[in-house]
Amino acid sequence: MSARGLVRGLAFLASLVAIGFLIQAMQLDSFLDKAWIDTEIRGRGLTGELLLVGIGAVFVAVGLPRQIISFLAGYGFGLAEGLAIALAATTIGCVITFFYARFMGRDLVARKFPGKIRRIDAFLADNPFTMTLLIRFLPAGSNLLTNLAAGVSSVSAVAFIAGSAFGYIPQTAIFALVGSGISVDPVWRIGLSIVLFLASGVLGIHLYRKYRHGKSLNGEAVAESH
């Protein structure tokens, strides 16, 4: 590894630690709530929408739950507009994390964990768009770790980001629907959201097992790990 690569790698690790401390110190996970939407976002038109997209993107990029942004966007703007705003914020957050890992941490991680990087590459290599789409459909997993892992791999940025954007839609729509139903018809909206969440999770698992062809990120078949 070159001196430049080492410096970037160390800066990458240090920045991850710093971000963790910053999140804890500022309590960012409790900063965004319905009261904030009511006072800072609603009634401000395009400015409010762009503010939510920007703050939501940073929120997602540092690893905080994207579902919160979807819920708040649905609460503030309704299902359709909330879905669009939350999807934009989540996708931009994905882009930030992906390229942050690719430019800052790729050399260090590839040197320290070559086997893991090869497994990630093998998992996504055949059809990165489809495999990314399937990963996003799954109800479990870390959005932050997925973005970081893809960033340090050799997967195509366009395929990964496009697959992520489309794969985010089901859960984003579900939580935007929940948020939009807090004030209007909450029972049926939340009930429908639960049904859709379970359906999307089952579909994601089914498609994942169908198309992964025995590959997994840990080197073993996923079905064998349960």
**Residue 14 confidence (pLDDT):** 61
For the chain, the straight-line distance linking the first and the last C-alpha, in angstroms and rounded, comes to: 38
- Using CA atoms in the order 202, 208, 214, 217, what is the torsion angle rounded to 10 degrees? -110
Which tens digit of pLDDT belongs to each residue from 66-119? 989 999 999 999 989 999 999 999 999 999 999 988 888 777 777 776 777 777
Amino acid letter, residue 2: S
Contact 160, 132 (CB under 8 A): yes
Which tens digit of pLDDT belongs to each residue from 36-71? 899 889 888 999 999 999 999 998 998 888 989 999
**Residue 168 confidence (pLDDT):** 93
Taking Cα atoms as reference points, which of 144, 149, 143, 145 lies closest to residue 110?
A: 149
Which residue did the predictor score with more confidence, 189 or 87?
A: 87
Structure tokens at 165: 């954007």
**Residue 43 confidence (pLDDT):** 87
Within 10 angstroms of residue 202's Cβ, the number of other Cβ atoms is: 12
Mean pLDDT of 181-194: 63
- Indicate the pLDDT class of residue 7, thresholds 50, 70 and 90: low
**C-alpha–C-alpha distance, residues 83 and 134, integer Å:** 20
**Residue 71 confidence (pLDDT):** 92
Highest mean pLDDT among 24-28, 130-134, 201-205: 130-134
DSSP letters, 70-98, are HHHHHHHH-HHHHHHHHHHHHHHHHHHHH
